[in-house]
Amino acid sequence: MLRTPSFRRVLLSLLIAVVVAAPAWAADQVNEVRLYALDCGRAEFKDMGFFSDTGEYDGKPGALAVPCFLVRHAKGTLLWDAGLGDKLADNKDGVELAGGIRLRVPVTLAEQLKTLSLAATDVTHVAFSHFHFDHTGNANLFGASIWIINKAELNWALTSPTPFGADPSTFSAYTNVKTQMIEGDHDVFGDGSVKILKAPGHTPGHQVLEIKLRKAGTVILSGDLYHMRDNRKYRRIPAINFERA
């Protein structure tokens, strides 16, 4: 999750780029890596306190965007993170959780894929920065995809009692899909252009995605490594992290 409103402006720009570039999906071959940002929900907080264990956000309200990302490569299409579940879109006012957290899904992931002339079955690979429910909400839609799963993250998410933030029901299809288990860095398409990099701390198997784009250069999709810019700038650690290191 990334902070709004600054991320919202970036997300809008990327979504506009998706619409403009949509006809390119009809081509038989894609000769370069392409990255698309998708809106996979919003999370609103009455108290952002748990995003720093040193008290900087205590009592302050805030909102975070929940993005998903689609990576188009000549050898396949990767969905990075699955956001909040599309079923939340049925409630226009969102769903309120304990602790003053409200979740909203203004537009479904399925609808956004459709604007790109894609269905869930066209996504060849799915991978997750981690297994918190706001990153796995739509995972079960992709039963025809290869799931690239961090072994440590899966083991953690399936422990009993269920860890804070995890919801195994959102990724229960992993038992019936083709999986590729990884324990460290992983080159998704074998040419170095799309790499999953180990980055534990927020959760035991947290990871980031490195993408090399022809024009923009190297892009890092950081998952929940940093929720806000200030957290990165001042090295603040969320109280909900698995560990501080």
Query: Which pLDDT belongs to residue 7?
Result: 41
Average pLDDT on 12-37 reads 53
Peptide bond into 67 cis (omega under 30): no
Between these two residues, 69 and 19, which has the higher pLDDT value? 69
- Check if the beta carbon of residue 43 is closer than 8 Å to that of residue 63: yes
Average pLDDT on 183-190 reads 98
Q: Where do the domains of the chain lie, and which CATH numbers do they carry? A: 2-234 (3.60.15.10)
Query: Which pLDDT belongs to residue 30?
Result: 45
Average pLDDT on 68-81 reads 98
Q: Is the pLDDT of residue 17 over 90?
A: no
Please tell me the distance from the alpha carbon of residue 155 to that of residue 151, in angstroms, as a whole number.
Answer: 6
Q: Which residues contact 30 (CB under 8 A, 6 or more apart)?
A: 24, 72, 73, 74
* pLDDT tens track for 126-167: 999 999 999 999 999 999 999 999 999 999 999 999 999 999
Q: What's the mean pLDDT when you consider all of the chain?
A: 89
Cα radius of gyration rounded to whole Å, the chain? 17
User: Is residue 245 very low, low, confident or very high in pLDDT (cuts 50, 70, 90)?
Assistant: low
Average pLDDT on 73-78 reads 98
Average pLDDT on 202-225 reads 96
Average pLDDT on 203-225 reads 96
- Check if the beta carbon of residue 128 is closer than 8 Å to that of residue 202: no
Between these two residues, 6 and 199, which has the higher pLDDT value? 199
* pLDDT tens track for 25-46: 333 344 589 999 999 999 999 9
